[in-house]
Structure 1
Amino acid sequence: MKLINTFFFVFFVFSINTYSQSFVKEGIYADGRLEVGATGSMTKYFGEFTDNNVGLAGGFFTRYFFPYVPELAIGARAGFGYLNYERRYINRLGSDFYRQFPREYFLDADRRAYERSTKITTVDLLLFVNLLPRSQINYYIFGGFSVLSFQNQDIQESPLDPGGDRIHYPEFKVQDEIDFHPVGGMGIDVFLYRDLSLGIHASYHILTTDYLDGYAQIPPEGSLANTDGIGEVGMKLSYYLFSDNDPDNDGLTNDEEKEYGTFPYKADTDDDGINDYDEIHLYKSNPLSIDSDGDGLTDAQEVANNTNLNTVDTDKDGLTDYEEIMLHNSNPNIADSDRDGLTDLEEVKAGSDPMKGDTDGDGILDIDDKCPSVFGIKILQGCPQTEAFVKEIETRDTVFVKSKPDTVIIVQEIEKIKKGETYKPKGIHFLTGSAEIRVESELILDDIANWLEREKDIKIEIQGHTDQEGNEDVNMRLSIDRAEAVMFYLIKKGISPTRLQAKGFGETKPLDTSGTKKAMAKNRRIEFKII
């Protein structure tokens, strides 16, 4: 036993020394690999004559690691060698001993020990559980079934009687030299390189025969109570075949995965939705971080929004990509999402919508609008009317003119309109592409002003409309300008600004969609809605 203990100690020191010197320069990837190796072992017989003698054996070893689950493996090993022991008299064996080893054949059998041996050959089928298959040092346990063929020296040398049976073993048959039994054990492998390892293993064969040492207690026949056993401690040198250079199929070789620190058995190490290869070679991002630039967006979200995975503010507008996407719903790739002349950051600071050129819909672009989030009028640069503005207009700009006789038809039409309804007078025209009122249209507006002067409680919304020709945004702006032109005309005629509102609809509410010139003329109009 001292020799066995010394062996274990030497190997343990060797393993630690090997690991500390970092012989392994490459990653260990056991998945789907086949190990083949040679073994050299010390054998130990366990039976009636158990002593400190050991034998020697050699053999071959193979093991296949399952793909993706290298913690499990199947394998086989074949060994051949000898068991050594001392056959000697033991009081407890009694008459059975002398029946097989009589004094006339074995002189001094009860006083001295005879050094004997048993030749053995084993074939094992094994299942392995590997504790650290992807580490430099792998610990494992195994179990399975074994077939043993043995030839004991005493049995082989026993003389034959006239009938051909062995004199000392009358019940022993040739088939008794074959034994089927379970085997189990454990081992340690130390990888010197990715494809080469040195290991130690220990195993025990639980035999179903009692003839291994040439002595068997005769009664009771077939009993397993006194069966023999074989212990084995050895070393093996193994080489590994069928290396899978990319077990996770992410496009990175195992060497690259080791270099970048990614996990070779997982295509997306950081679980951000982008495989390691794309992060490294396509997006130049960090495969170990779910948010490479730390802006609050995962790398997958950045890819979905076409932003730079390594830059907090892709368009450099002063807002982070996270703020643009998650808070303001703006375009993180364009500094001015709505292209109104203001950067997204300027819009956010001003309280306007970075995705709308005209946030409040008053027809004045945010860049020209001093009140971009509140509906206003052009003369106040987009801000709403105030009491001070109304008084200033009444004082400075109101022009009183002598009333002309009412146009009976217009007055009658207006008086039929109820609150919430709209009056569509004919004949209010403007210069082409302009908000300048034609002279001939002033008579109609004068009649409307006179009517409003009499009906002090009525308030109206002046609505401008255009046809579908030209740019939609330009038409919207033109409709607002024309509505405001009419409003200011009525103010100059003495109507209080507090009773008037101007609103443009552009080409959004056509009366006739046929597309003819007549339809176009019909759609260009000013309407008055009583509110």
Structure 2
Amino acid sequence: MKNLSRLLFAMLLVLGFSNTYAQDENNPWAISFGINAVDFYPTGEDAPLGGYFDEFFNAGDHYNILPSLSSVSAARYINSGFSVGATASINKIDKFGDDRSRYNDVTYFGLDGIVKYSFASILNSKCVEPYLGVGGGYTWVDDIGAGTLNGTFGINFWLTENIGLTAQTSYKHAFEDYLDTHFQHTAGITVKFGGKDTDEDGIYDKDDACPEEWGLAEFNGCPDSDGDGIEDAKDSCPQEAGPAEFNGCPDSDGDGIADKDDACPTEAGPKELNGCPDSDGDGVADKDDECPNEAGPAANNGCPWPDRDGDGVVDKDDQCPDLVGTVANNGCPEVTEAVKKALNAYAKTILFDTGKSTIKEQSEEVLQNIVDILKEYPNARFTIDGHTDSVGSEANNQRLSQERASSVMNYLITKGIASNRLEHQGFGESKPIDSNKTKAGRANNRRVEINLIK
């Protein structure tokens, strides 16, 4: 009796402090061990028994208790709060209501099956699990047995996720006269088990988002390999700890750019230079700056070399440092179509002595204009082409056109135009631009052209 009272007190204490879970799919099996008490009194019979539930808790006068392990149960969770189970119990009967003479320490043995429904999910409780059950069984008293129809009410108080205390009472209605209807109360310990946890992380596969990988409860069983508080699946750098603002990637130099996106991960630098420093503040990253401690334009690779003509090409790379040019033309001005036309307009007015390659004095001004233009484009190369009309032999015309082109080239060289910028060739009468049948046409065909070599 003292043991039963202590057990009931412990169960009430646990009701106030427990925070665990009921039997469910994760732990489908449960085994209970405990003691049972058989009470014939409050079953609505005549004396020596009493009315229904009379003196229901009068354990001292009416309970038959075997002071040892006397009840073993096994249950299997099915679905939606339902489970099925079986119980074997043993007892000694010496009290039949108020009558102490009917039984004298006779043996009581019961085998019972049950279908139970748990109210844990309805109550949304993690520690208290009331349940109702219905079933039947066979009970022997003094070697005489009879079938019973059973109705059960019980409560599980879960101490941990797998261990709890159980208290229940069953009304067992007997179908034979030689067995009396009675209540059987049970108190004991229940252990549930059978949940599958493949990765052994303490989270059952059913609730584990990563059942094959050891993980943490806060990430539903998924891992956080670098321990930065960001689960691997959402971590851009799962093997390196980093803050959430960089999706779990580190920023070693603290410049606000994650190492994986930082061209200089160990040196702080601005975002516009991909995280690399710019010591002289010239907009060229130190790693690309040939003069990292002296500010200079990007066109100079960060060096402050001069650019006299201000065309963006530093003097050391500018083939025309005193003339505004283009980067594409190495700092020299590019010959435009208008300039090309002007050159040829002048060239066509160069006059030669008849049948000779000597230049007439009146062409001096025209040639000087050509020299002035060529000096404006010091890196440009030109070809001087001689042409004749069709008067005379073809061979003589070819020779004459060649000599006249050579005569013009030599003149330009004497006026300061570098010889490596000039070429000459004669085409004779092969490329007329007008008819050789008229005096005016033949005059047009006798010409010198100056063309840009690309």
**Same-fold call, TM cutoff 0.5:** no
Between Structure 1 and Structure 2, whose CA radius of gyration is higher?
2
TM-score by length of 2: 0.44
